Structure 1
Amino acid sequence: MNVRPATEADREAIGELLLVSWGSHIAVAHGTAYDATTLPALIAEQDDRIVGLLTYTIEDDALEVVTLDALERRSGVGSALMSAAVDVARRAGVRRLWLITTNDNLDALRFYQRRGLRIVGVTPGGVDASRELKPSIPPTGAYGIPLHDELTLELTL
């Protein structure tokens, strides 16, 4: 597997992947709506096909992971993308990598914590507020869990 920065030539494929995974190009967290097709991105490829995508933004002293998608779970794609994001963050001289996930996303919580990220904040009703910006966010998430809260995870670099 190869992980590399996305190029302008990848934008169409990124848009298609985001539509399949997220139902939209728009990702909403902490009151911010991102068009993920316009963000810097890392692409994981295997056998000349895209198998994963991580989009991010760098602001102040932090790299925020906005989206992370591994087309085949438990195959090392997510780990490779997160490792590459840490490398990008370090090269950019930022002091932390962080992200938002939701209260229903138990698989993501396990994944991120196993990679050293820690829960540093909970925003009760954060998803409810995001739903105002993106009404397509469902009321119920993974495992039938009502979807209401945002959890902030962080890795200090």
Structure 2
Amino acid sequence: MGDVYVRRAVESDQETIERILTDSWGGPIVIGHGVEFNAARLPALLAERDGAVAGLLTYHLDGDALEIVSIDATARHTGAGTALLRAAAGVAREHGLRRLWLITTNDNLDALRFYQRRGLRIVAVTPGAVDAARERKPSIPEIGAYRIPLHDELTLELRL
């Protein structure tokens, strides 16, 4: 397998971005911390390996921070997620931002391990946030990974 290369998405990537978001999130709408994003319209980074798309990260710049709205590796344990996270930190630094942050859910144990091993820290837990998001996006399941009831959001951040 070749190395993972990350690049900024361009207009011709739109169909690929929408497909990945639909496969991972059920569509382009992502709700986090009470905010609804159309992730397909956000700036994006694409990871590629051996000429094929290996992952997608969408983000939003706000104040002193880069918020990762979505991050998806099309195949796990290939380095795409790590490469995307590093590239997002690079974008944040280019803009002179002080932190990178994201929201995940209480059931997402694999993501919590992934993020913490890469230096992000849990800085907040919002009980019931997923329940509230489910009212706006009913397709959010009630049971998540590992058959854990899906209720809460966890905020993780990396200080730059």
TM-score range, shorter chain: over 0.9
Paired letter, 2:5:
N
3-state DSSP of counterpart to 1:82: helix
**C-alpha distance in structure 2 between counterparts of 1:136 and 1:24, whole Å:** 10
Out of 79, 87, 91, the position equivalent to 1:88 is 91
Q: Distance in 1 between matches of 2:145 and 2:9?
A: 29
2:55 is the counterpart of 1:52: yes
Task: Quote the offset at 1:47 in angstroms.
Answer: 2.0
Per the alignment, in what secondary structure is the counterpart of residue 74 of structure 1? coil
Over 4 Å off, 4+ runs: none
Cα-to-partner distance string for 1:102-150 (whole Å, 9 max, x where unaligned): 0000000000000000000000001001111211100000000000000
Q: CA RMSD in A?
A: 0.6
Q: TM-score, normalised by structure 1?
A: 0.98
* Counterparts of 1:5 and 1:155, CA distance in 2: 21
**Counterpart in 2 of 1:65?**
68
Q: What are the Cα deviations for residues 80-123 of structure 1, in whole angstroms up to 9, with x where unaligned?
A: 00000000000011100000000000000000000000000000
Q: Does 1:41 align with 2:44?
A: yes
Q: Once the two structures are superposed, what CA deviation does each residue of 1:12-58 show, in whole Å capped at 9, x if it has no partner?
A: 11001111111111111100111110000000011221110000000
Secondary structure of the residue that 2:56 maps to in structure 1?
strand
> What runs of 5+ residues in structure 2 fail to find an aligned partner?
none
Match in the other structure for 1:128:
131
Equivalent residue runs for 1:1-157 within 5 Å: 1-157=4-160
Please tell me the residue identity of whatever aligns with 1:64. E
Counterpart code for 1:116:
G
- Rounded to whole Å, the distance in 2 between the matches of 1:47 and 1:118 is 32
SS at match of 1:73: coil
SS in structure 2 at match of 1:43: strand
Query: TM-score, normalised on structure 2?
Result: 0.97
How many residues matched? 157
Q: Separation in 1 of the partners of 2:155 and 2:61? A: 16
Q: Distance in 1 between matches of 2:138 and 2:12?
A: 31
